[in-house]
């Protein structure tokens, strides 16, 4: 399975504060022996309602650098792809769906990448992510970085929310060679306005569709 993300949007100070807090906690709680010790505990994403472990697995195939899009669609023939910072989280969520799916011993290889129009745009986005991550874990650079970023309570303007978009193109190949494609398009900022709309719609469904 491959998901290609095309997006335009903004980021809020609250989201950045959460990212910085998560990074700080991860660095403080990091155990060096985890690099060589095998963790035999049950992954919560693999746990079935009965308490046992699912036989269905998701295998990461996330890009670590930039490259030309390998999707066979002509729309991506000249475009480039690079790592997407939300991909590991999205893969974990998808892995939960795989674990709960019907059938046994299914293995899904998951790939997700951020799409850029050309190599230079992909390179800038890739290195920008690396530099941001480096500054975020550096106690000297982080205070300087925060001076140029929105604070909690500050966020994208209404025009950014309205003009943003998110398009996720999915492409999958089954074990028998069957191919499927899908496209999810959100006409506004995917991280905030479209997410808020989906949360409200989901709440309405839960509150009104009692028969389901």
Residue 35, pLDDT > 70, answer no
SS3 111: strand
**Mean pLDDT (the chain, rounded):** 88
Segment 124-142 mean pLDDT: 90
Residue 19, pLDDT > 90, answer no
pLDDT in tens, 3-12: 999 999 988 8
Q: Which residue, among 153, 84, 70, 149, has the nearest Cα to 113 in the 3D structure?
A: 84
Distance (Å, whole) CA 116 – CA 124: 10
Instruction: Name the one residue in this structure whose structure tokens are 């951020």.
Output: 114
Paired strand residues for 181: 171
Distance (Å, whole) CA 171 – CA 179: 7
Tokens (6 digits) for 130: 């690396």
Q: Which residue, among 107, 111, 102, has the nearest Cα to 58 in the 3D structure?
A: 107
pLDDT for 37:
73
Segment 30-48 mean pLDDT: 74
Residue 82 burial (C-beta neighbours within 10 Å; 0-12, 13-18, 19+) = buried
- Quick check: 148 and 13 in contact, CB under 8 A? no
118: DSSP letter: S
Segment 48-69 mean pLDDT: 91
Interhelix angle 119-136/13-29, rounded to 10 degrees, is 60
Residue 197, phi-psi category: left (phi > 0), alpha (psi -120 to 50), beta (remainder): alpha
For residues 211 and 114, the model is more confident at: 114
pLDDT in tens, 164-188: 999 999 999 988 889 999 999 999 9
pLDDT for 50:
86
Residue 119, pLDDT > 90, answer yes
Residue 107, pLDDT > 70, answer yes
């Amino acid at each position: 399975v491959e998901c290609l993300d095309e997006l335009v949007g903004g980021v809020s100070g609250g989201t950045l504060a959460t990212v910085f807090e998560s990074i700080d906690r991860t660095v403080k709680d990091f155990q060096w022996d985890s690099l060589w010790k095998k963790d035999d505990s049950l992954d919560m994403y693999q746990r079935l309602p009965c308490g046992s472990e699912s036989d269905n697995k998701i295998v990461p195939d996330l890009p670590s650098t930039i490259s030309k899009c390998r999707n066979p669609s002509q729309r991506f023939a000249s475009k480039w792809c690079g790592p997407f910072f939300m991909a590991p989280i999205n893969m974990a969520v998808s892995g939960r769906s795989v674990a709960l799916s019907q059938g046994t011993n299914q293995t899904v290889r998951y790939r997700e990448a951020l799409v850029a129009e050309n190599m230079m745009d992909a390179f800038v986005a890739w290195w920008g992510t690396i530099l941001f991550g480096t500054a975020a874990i550096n106690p000297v650079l982080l205070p300087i970085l925060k001076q140029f970023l929105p604070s909690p309570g500050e966020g994208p303007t209404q025009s950014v929310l309205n003009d943003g978009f998110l398009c996720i193109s999915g492409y999958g190949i089954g074990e028998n060679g069957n191919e499927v494609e899908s496209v999810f398009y959100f006409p506004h900022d995917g991280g905030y306005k479209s997410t808020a709309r989906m949360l409200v719609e989901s709440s309405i469904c839960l509150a009104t569709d009692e028969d389901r």
